[in-house]
A and B are shown apart, each in its own frame.
Chain A
Amino acid sequence: MQLSMFFQHLANAISLGSLYSLVAIGYTMVYGILRLINFAHGDLLMLAAYIVYYARGMFHLPWPISIILAILLTAGTGILVERAAYRPLRDSPRTTILISAIGVSFLVENLGLVLFGGRPQPFPLPAVFDSGSAREIGGVRVENITFAIPVVTLVLLYVLLHIVHKTKTGMAMRAVARDFDTAGLMGVDVNRIVAITFAIGSALAAVGGIMWGMKFPQINPLMGMMPGMKCFIAAVFGGIGNIQGAVVGGFILGVAEIMIVAFLPSISGYRDAFAFVILIGTLLIRPTGLIGEKVAEKV
């Protein structure tokens, strides 16, 4: 394999991996606080993509407003989902909430089918990210979006870590993550903190959805399913509940997926299966994931 071709594969891999990381952060953050795998995460991602699609295509709003609107509306939906589907079950066994989460996921998907229709739609792209915008660096072709996604991921990672570790709300989040009841007794408004967690998690899903749409400009109501699965795997692989772990897990998954097609083209049809093999392997060999430790501080 030529060197330039290898670097091209690497550039593709980083582009895909950073996208996985971005979505995995949101997964892991909600899990860290609530011990709940929010299966509707991928569907919130879809919702955000459609909000931008309508804001741009139907109402012709400028880009910044469309993006902010998508983030706010998705965060609001996240709070609503928590209020309606998770809060009433907070004292139930964990499996019950898990099933409720799957239910929410199906509900959002099917609502999407009813409201938006089943036909795939083209996602609007700002001119900087158009396919003609690719640059050539040392024989390697890189799209502009490939530069943008890792930057967004890292900025969000920094902001998130700052919120969790440096603010009062973050301290409350960590307290809630340790123990719901005790945190409540210490004067933490648990409901408010959980709502904030969901709002932030959903806002992250929204950013993920917008980035996903810009990288793969074809959206449909079921587009959240595969990202949901893949990024869940990335989060588990990195150590679910651990934010840095999600970033690492996403990158590794992206790189692994591209390299398997690049070096073993004969089994490229099994690319998705490979992601699930990683999941099963992680759960068998190291259930806490790469970075997650049993005693690690969650979130």
Chain B
Amino acid sequence: MRKTKLVAIVLLLTLLLPLVQGCGPKAQTENGQGQEEPTPSEVHIGVYEPMTGASASGGQMTWEGIQLANEMHPEVLGLPVRLHLEDNKTDKTEAANAVTRLIDQKNVVAIIGSYGSSLSIAGGEVAKNKKIPVVGCSPTNPLVTQDNPYYFRVCFIDPFQGKVMAKYAYESLNAKTAVIIRNVQDDYAVGLANYFKEAFIQLTGNDKSVLAELEYNTGDQDFTAQLTQTASLAPDVVFAPGNYGDSALMIRQARTLKITAPFLGGDTWEAPEFIEIGKEDVEGATLSTHYSVQATGTDASREFVEAYKAKYGKDPNAFAALGYDAYLMILDAIKRANSIKPEDIRNALAETKDFKGVTGTITMDENRDANKSAVILQVKGGKFEYLTTVEPF
């Protein structure tokens, strides 16, 4: 009995340990906010990304790009930059918690993240209240930066992405009808589906060109009911924005049910798992994204591609490139502000103009969004192949 108690006490102490450690830096923050600013020895930049859960692949690819950028540019204003990573577990609540931890415990002056618009919206609320600037790598929903003067992004937004895919469906595939299948719990998928619908109806000039909008939930694996309905409607294209894993399963089931219409999606499909899970069934699936190695690039992008290949032994994709750009854009803002106060960084970020990024030239507009071109990729021979670049229109 005695022994059991001892074990219990030891276990309890182990559990409490991180709490005690967590309190340390927090106490410093409170001290630091006194009259005298302590001379900082490091610049702390926070990263919150989904490292686990349904979007883990996206978060991990982004993190690779951020780490590479940090290795290549480890200093700003003569101070070393330290990255702090928090996993938001593809969960909205965890995303808010992650941002809180970064700000309260790690003392970060700026934050990068997150893959997934829902996660970014949840995290952005916290950052806004605590007045810490955030640069999003790939959250494309307009709501992420709307009414949040502390949120910026290095990617285009969904109204543009939706238009790009609608135009591709109408002009390149000659599609007259479409069915939309979307994840109703995902702000990204719902938003993108709506923009696609608007643009597609406008292009076809037919209110009924979108035959149906079918829905599913996060975590669903069986899409046969929605697909059986799709099959009976026989659309020219199916637009199914969503998570790479869910979408790959959906396309597999669609091919089983003999649906031959091409599947179109958004930037979230660009993950190796999409092809690994979907195998030959996702051949021909077409998506819009931010960047492709195969598109002719600038000097900055060639330098990035070589460094990335040397470090990770594979070609970078859009998310790694956006992570790289987000990091460098923050460093650029810190340099221009000549300060590591969050408020100064925010103001400098808002003035970002003609920043030469890997994914293109970035200028922050009044909504803190980047106005950039999109690329269209298609799965061919088990790889994402570059089809074309679409300039903002």
Q: Using a CB–CB distance below 8 Å, which chain A residues touch chain B?
A: 2, 5, 8-9, 12, 15-16, 113, 117-122, 131-132, 134, 136, 141, 143, 215-218, 220-222, 225-226, 257-259, 261-262, 265, 268-269, 271-272
Contacts and interface: CB of A to CB of B under 8 A. Distances in A.
A244 B173 CA distance: 51
A192 B52 CA distance: 38
14 contacts: A5-B228, A8-B228, A117-B56, A118-B53, A120-B277, A131-B279, A131-B281, A217-B249, A221-B52, A257-B225, A258-B225, A262-B229, A265-B215, A271-B217
Interface residues of B, number: 41
Interface string B64-96: 000000000000000000000000000000000
B60 to A, nearest CB: 7
Contact of B222 (A12, A119, A121, A269): A12
B216 interface: yes
Nearest to A123: B277
Given A120-B54, A120-B277, A268 B248 contact: no
Given A217-B249, A218-B248, A220-B54, A258 B214 contact: no
A169 B357 CA distance: 69
A117 B53 CA distance: 9
A122 B220 CA distance: 16
Given A132-B255, A222-B52, 9 more contacts: A5-B228, A8-B231, A118-B56, A118-B60, A119-B273, A141-B256, A222-B53, A226-B219, A226-B221
Nearest to A117: B56
Nearest to B278: A122
B171 interface: no
B279 A12 contact: no
A271 B277 contact: no
B277 A217 contact: yes
Given A122-B279, A141-B258, A217-B277, A12 B225 contact: yes
B226 A216 contact: no
Contacts of A216: 221-222, 249
A95 B282 CA distance: 47
Contacts of A8: 228, 231, 257
A134 B224 CA distance: 13
Contacts of B215: 265, 268-269
Contacts of B253: 131
Contacts of B257: 8, 134, 141
Contacts of A226: 219, 221
Given A220-B54, A272-B217, A261 B249 contact: no
A5, A217, A259 — most chain B CB neighbours (10 Å) = A217
B245 interface: yes
A2 B233 CA distance: 12
Interface string B219-261: 1111011101101100000000000010011001101111000
Contact of B228 (A9, A122, A222, A257): A9
B51 interface: yes
Contacts of B185: 269
A215 B222 CA distance: 9
Contacts of A120: 54, 56-57, 245, 273, 277
A9, A121, A226, A269 — most chain B CB neighbours (10 Å) = A269
Contact of B249 (A9, A15, A218, A265): A218
Contacts of B307: none
Contacts of B228: 5, 8-9, 12, 262
Contacts of B273: 119-122, 218
B295 to A, nearest CB: 26
A2 B232 contact: yes
A33 to B, nearest CB: 27
Interchain residue pairs A-B with the least CB separation, the first 4: A118-B52, A261-B225, A118-B56, A12-B224
B256 A131 contact: yes
Nearest to A227: B221
Nearest to B225: A261
A151 B166 CA distance: 45
A171 B107 CA distance: 63
B276 interface: yes
Contacts of B50: 118
